[in-house]
Amino acid sequence: MELAQARKLWQVEPGWLNTATYGLPPDPVWTAVQQVLAEWRSGGVSFEVWDAAVDRSRAAFARLVGVDPADVSIGAAVSQLVAPIAAALPPGATVVVPEGEFTSILFPWLVQEERGVRVRAVPLDGLVDAIDAGTDLVAFSLVQSADGTVAAYDEIVAAARSHDALVVVDATQACGWLPFDAARADAVLVGAYKWLMAPRGAAFAYLAPVLRERLRPDAAGWYAGKDPHSSYYGTPLRLADDARRFDLSPSWLCYAGAAPVLELLADLDLAAVRDHDVALANRFLAGLGRPPGDSAIVSVEVPGAQEKLAAAGVRAAVRAGRVRASFHLYTTEADVDLALDALTG
């Protein structure tokens, strides 16, 4: 599908510049969720009808990030997907992370400190140089939630590989607008409710086979079984041989909404999505007299921003006087100009 055609699939009130908080559903997602709600209300179908959306979602996510669906696990949140990786680190292991990192990709390592795991926080722009022979794992967001900074993915991976360190990436603020090769990392975690525009409660993990050998599926339930439908009751343990052994039993309503939007994104030219989003972000920056950037998320300091934006009906994140604005497929130049008029008028 062409980008111009896809952009007609949203029904958005003017002034939404907050995808970094949550994304908005295109028409196919809205329709799918309404159908599931109606089926749930009436008891009109068995759950297997909804469950088919999980396989569709897994396959579309894998296509979007360039990996094998057999290497994709599904869950509910990034921190839950990171947990078995953190739990598998041996006492004395050292994890290097950026300072001020989003806590879903930070707290899982920190809770392991009580058993001897060491967490070393360094400036993001110094992350490559901080990876050394004593580093066992490096974890970072591909795009920073706070200000949209895009990490030097290739350089970080190369530095980690030169020291045999694992690479764990939170791509929640990147996946859906920024093309990248997930297979270069050992694990890539994505919450789907932001740039993937799915209902909150769907999340994905690319888990490389070499990493999975080190992990124990402590949260395994019936859905992690080799055949989930014959894994409802009783011994013995019979888990899937691939990444599905780390699956969390899915929230069906969330995955019913995730499947159509992931399939839509996987059919688009993601480079064109990036160019659209970044062009709008740079239009916003230019209007405020700032230099252009390379991200769909920007953060700028404007006095009185919260009151000015609210008065104009613009929805963006404002924290400590800094505006965090984010731009995606449904954002228009008119949305950008509405925000600029509010901030500069």
Structure tokens at 217: 């599926």
CA distances from 213 to 84, 209, 245, 311 (A): 12, 7, 11, 54
How many angstroms separate the CA atoms of 98 and 115, rounded? 22
Q: Looking at residue 214, what is its pLDDT?
A: 96
Number of neighbours of residue 140 by Cβ within 10 angstroms: 24
Q: In a 10 Å sphere around its CB, with 0-12 CB exposed, 13-18 middle and 19+ buried, how is residue 183 labelled?
A: middle
pTM of the model: 0.96
Q: Looking at residue 20, what is its pLDDT?
A: 97
Q: 3-25+270-344 sits in which CATH class?
A: alpha beta
- Torsion-angle region of residue 316: left (phi > 0), alpha (psi -120 to 50) or beta? beta
Find out whether 244 and 259 touch, Cβ atoms under 8 Å: no
CA distances from 292 to 280, 288, 296 (A): 10, 11, 11
Find out whether 329 and 7 touch, Cβ atoms under 8 Å: yes
Structure tokens at 57: 């979602």
**DSSP annotation of 88:** T
How many angstroms separate the CA atoms of 103 and 82, rounded? 11
Alpha helices for the chain (secondary structure H): 3-6, 27-42, 47-65, 78-87, 107-110, 127-130, 153-162, 209-212, 252-267, 270-287, 305-312, 333-344
Number of neighbours of residue 25 by Cβ within 10 angstroms: 23
Pick the CATH number of 47-267 from 3.20.20.80, 3.40.640.10, 3.40.50.1100, 1.20.1260.10: 3.40.640.10
Q: Looking at residue 310, what is its pLDDT?
A: 92
What is the three-class DSSP state of 188?
Answer: strand
Structure tokens at 143: 């795009």
State the pairing for strand pair 137-141/166-170: parallel
Task: List residues bridging with 122 in a β-sheet.
Answer: 98
pLDDT digit string (tens) for the chain, length 345 residues = 899 999 999 999 999 999 999 999 999 999 999 999 999 999 989 999 999 999 999 999 999 999 999 999 999 999 999 999 999 999 999 999 999 999 999 999 999 999 999 999 999 999 999 999 999 999 999 999 999 999 999 999 999 999 999 999 999 999 999 999 999 999 999 999 999 999 999 999 999 999 999 999 999 999 999 999 999 999 999 999 999 999 999 999 999 999 999 999 999 999 999 999 999 999 999 999 999 999 999 999 999 998 999 999 999 998 766 899 999 999 999 999 999 999 998
Domain spans in the chain, listed from the N-terminal domain onward:
3-25+270-344, 47-267
Cβ density class 323-332: b for 16+ within 10 Å, e for less: bbbbbbbbbe
Cβ density class 90-109: b for 16+ within 10 Å, e for less: eeebbbbbbeebbebbbbbb
Q: Looking at residue 322, what is its pLDDT?
A: 87
Report how far Cα 110 is from the mean position of its chain's Cα atoms. Answer: 21
Structure tokens at 126: 């110094």
**Which residue type sits at 173?**
Q
Contacts of residue 320, defined as CB under 8 A and 6 or more positions apart, other chains included, come to none
With tokens 């019979």, the residue in question is 238
| 3-25+270-344 matches 47-267 in fold | no
Q: Looking at residue 320, what is its pLDDT?
A: 65
Give me the half-sphere count of Cα atoms (radius 13 Å) on the Cβ side of residue 234: 2
